[in-house]
Amino acid sequence: MQQLSDSKSIYLQIGEMIETDILRGVLLEEEQAPSTNELARRFTINPATAGKGLNLLIEQGILYKRRGIGMFVSPGAREKILNKRRAAFFEGRLRELLAEAGRLGITKDEMIKMIEESDL
């Protein structure tokens, strides 16, 4: 698994890690997700924080609870995560990129040219 950093709320990082694991196929749909206690132990973090990260994923329908057993990856979770990350890409990263381009005096045409030349 990945490492935690100071750059973002820990619970958000925990959520993202599990999402990344789902995208990579480390965690498959209908498989059991790590528990609050496992995450707290693994990363030496407060269980409340770990729980908050997991609850976030439950709210978004990426995980679901099975009473008395634990949390599982929802069917269609991969698709949800992809959609969410795509939206975040346009809202966040792309905006940042454009702002930085503006500061550097890079023109729109230059940007478009670069995108067209890339093998995306």
- List interacting residues with another protein (CB under 8 A): 4, 6-11, 37, 40-41, 43-49, 52, 103
Nearer to another protein, 48 or 112 (CB): 48
E strand or H helix that includes residue 40 = helix 36-43
Residue 29 CB, nearest approach to another protein (Å): 28
Amino acid at 91: E
- Give the integer Cα–Cα distance in Å for 88 and 66: 29
Nearer to another protein, 79 or 100 (CB): 100
Length of the chain, in residues: 120
β-partners of residue 64 are 72
Residue 20 CB, nearest approach to another protein (Å): 19
Residue 10 CB, nearest approach to another protein (Å): 5
